[in-house]
Structure 1
Amino acid sequence: MIARLSPKRIVFGDHAPTLRITLTSVILALLCLVWIYPFLWMVSTSLKSNMEMFANPGLIPQDFMWDNYRRAWVEANMGRYFFNTLIVTVGSVFLVTVSTAMLGYVLGRYRFPGRTTFFIAFVATVFIPQGFTIIPVFELLSMMGLSSNLFGLTLATSGHAMVVFVVLFAGYFSQLPKELEEAARVEGVTFFKIFWYVMLPLARPMVVTVVIMQVLHAWNDFLLPLVITLANPAIRTLSVGIYAFKGEQSIDWTGMSAAATISIVPVVILFVLLQRYFINGLAGAVKG
């Protein structure tokens, strides 16, 4: 009897991992459908007329209204807002990546008096709501004469949420071997060159992680650009421009959906292309 039962156990044991993988895949696929349904609904609505949006609840439009995208891009000035957002995003990504990488390198690799106190005070600022800092930021930009141009908006966008990036860089740099710096110092390499040519290239996954997170923040930020662009609507970003589809008496849902699709597609493409580096960067920072 044992000889007869053992093959069945072996067969069952061989199929058990496959069954678990299949069930896990099915469950995850269902969860993914739940998560991506709003995105699919948005794309579907962007291709419908306002009347069909309420009459046809399905995801497949009866008549594909591609004119909604032309109307959003040209008539609603989403083309100008797109390039405004691109300028602000690229500028803030450069400023944030360089500054947080240098600060994270110092905090992660060096020990100096007051380091712990500074680090705690620095991290504590992450608990301050953005709404409390908008007025001081706007006043500072006004004093500098930058409250109504894209450069001022770029600086303001670069100053928010930097704490998280510094902590991630500090955790990543702290796990790198000290022998790299010691060998560079023996060769007479300066502090800045050690950081720029030795340590920063090794932190490429972390750099990509910070780039993706800052792109998401700068591209989707709404409250700060809304306040800064009140005096100059020409420098509006996409998120503020999409809000303009909401009127006092009605809402242009199809135009808003088309504008939102234009806004979100570049971010989705960027994340799909760089997701491997994003995951590796977070894993390395947590490990460190």
Structure 2
Amino acid sequence: MSTADEVLPARRRTGNRRRPGNNKWSGARLVRRLPWWFAAAVIAIGGLLWIYPFLWMVGASLKNPLEVFTAGLSLLPEKAEWGNYSRAWSDAGFGKYLINTVIVTVTTVVLVVLRCAMAGYVLARQSFFGKKVVMVILIATLFVPTGYTIIPVVEISQQLGLLNSLSGMVLALAGGAHVASILLYLGYFRQLPRELEESAVIDGAGFFSIFARIMLPLANPVTATVTLLTFLGTWNAFFLPLVFSFSRPDLRTLSVGMLAFVGENSTDWSGMAAAASISLLPVVALFVLLQRYFVEGIAGAVKS
């Protein structure tokens, strides 16, 4: 056997030995990772506490009315009562309420996105007299409670003959200031380079053409964020839909339809939990689809 053949196995044996300083779970490395594990544990516990009410509601939707109170904090029902969902969907009329909510929410989201995008674009890219005054007024409306605006909105809608209609409900919900959405678009449009508009003007594009074909498509992350925020606010709106459907029960939305489970002497808690679970499914699905764009939109808007 040659000298090289004798040395090679020795080197292999030496290389296979684990050096003391390379131990993955050495004491020093474990101590350095302790803060990370502690933070992960705190976040996990916080996440469980945050999601527990939702899980309890889903569990309550499968319990009978007596078990809702006797089971305490237990999540799993003794026997699944799927009839709660059929009772909420058919008997309480939540099928009709869901259609009304979808119509109102989708229309409101489209109007709010277009209006806020145009307002944010003008405030970010155009110079005009009174621009600072408009900004001050918009920011000041953030401190006005929502309840103070219901009475004038109802009076205007009544004078226009839109009080007991879905179109009036949509205009009332979409006609608010929506300052946060405008500021998101403003912050995003402000950081875009001016060369984009200058090149489009040289090619003969007008104001609306630049906005619709260039600026608005570039603001997709903000549009997703505004869509999600408006969807959540409109889907869960209660006071305005209640007023606009007070004399027209067939125009109720899901949030107002929850009142159908509240009687004079008792409340159908299991049916209400089933109805709430039904109403939350579209919200959860939309958030899962748009969560990445939601984070990008917030980050892009506040970068400037």
Structure 1 length-normalised TM: 0.94
CA contact (8 A) 2:84 2:270 kept: yes
CA contact (8 A) 2:150 2:240 kept: yes
Read off the aligned partner of 1:96 and give its amino acid letter: V
Give the C-alpha shift of residue 50 in structure 1. 0.6
Give the C-alpha shift of residue 256 in structure 1. 0.6
Does 2:88 match 1:91? no
User: CA 1:7/1:259 → structure 2, altered by over 3 Å: closer, same or farther?
Assistant: closer
Question: Over residues 76-133 of structure 1, what are the superposed CA-to-partner deviations in whole Å (9 max), with x where a residue is unaligned?
Answer: 0011001100000000000000010001000011122210011101221222212111
Q: 1:72 — aligned with what?
A: 88
* Structure 1 segments unaligned to the other structure (5+ residues): none
Does 2:297 match 1:281? yes
1:251-262 superposed matches below 5 A = 251-262=267-278
Read off the aligned partner of 1:131 and give its amino acid letter: G
Q: 1:54 — aligned with what?
A: 69
User: CA 1:52/1:161 → structure 2, altered by over 3 Å: closer, same or farther?
Assistant: farther
Question: Which of these residues, 27, 39, 44, is aligned with residue 29 of structure 1?
Answer: 44
Q: 1:130 — aligned with what?
A: 146
User: CA 1:41/1:80 → structure 2, altered by over 3 Å: closer, same or farther?
Assistant: same
Q: 1:147 — aligned with what?
A: 163
Please, which moves more after superposition, 119-128 or 85-94?
119-128
> Counterpart of 2:198 in 1: which secondary structure?
helix
Larger radius of gyration: 2
Read off the aligned partner of 2:69 and give its amino acid letter: F
Give the C-alpha shift of residue 19 in structure 1. 3.7
Q: 1:156 — aligned with what?
A: 172
CA distance in 2 between partners of 1:136 and 1:172 (Å): 33
CA distance in 2 between partners of 1:17 and 1:186 (Å): 58
User: CA 1:158/1:17 → structure 2, altered by over 3 Å: closer, same or farther?
Assistant: farther
User: CA 1:47/1:161 → structure 2, altered by over 3 Å: closer, same or farther?
Assistant: farther
> Counterpart of 1:60 in 2: which secondary structure?
coil
Read off the aligned partner of 1:69 and give its amino acid letter: Y
Question: Over residues 134-166 of structure 1, what are the superposed CA-to-partner deviations in whole Å (9 max), with x where a residue is unaligned?
Answer: 111111111111111111111111123511111
User: CA 1:174/1:128 → structure 2, altered by over 3 Å: closer, same or farther?
Assistant: same
CA contact (8 A) 2:138 2:177 kept: no
Please, which moves more after superposition, 99-108 or 112-121?
112-121
CA distance in 2 between partners of 1:93 and 1:7 (Å): 56
Give the C-alpha shift of residue 22 in structure 1. 2.8
Give the C-alpha shift of residue 21 in structure 1. 3.1
* Structure 2 segments unaligned to the other structure (5+ residues): 1-18
Alpha-carbon RMSD across the aligned residues, in angstroms, is: 1.9
> Counterpart of 2:63 in 1: which secondary structure?
coil
> Counterpart of 1:105 in 2: which secondary structure?
helix
Structure 2 length-normalised TM: 0.89
User: CA 1:7/1:76 → structure 2, altered by over 3 Å: closer, same or farther?
Assistant: closer
Count residues in correspondence: 285
Question: Which of these residues, 121, 128, 131, is aligned with residue 105 of structure 1?
Answer: 121
Aligned-residue identity in percent? 49
CA distance in 1 between partners of 2:225 and 2:37 (Å): 31
Q: Following superposition, which runs of at least 4 residues in structure 1 exceed 6 angstroms of deviation? A: 4-8
User: CA 1:55/1:120 → structure 2, altered by over 3 Å: closer, same or farther?
Assistant: same
Question: Which of these residues, 251, 260, 269, is aligned with residue 244 of structure 1?
Answer: 260
User: CA 1:61/1:139 → structure 2, altered by over 3 Å: closer, same or farther?
Assistant: same
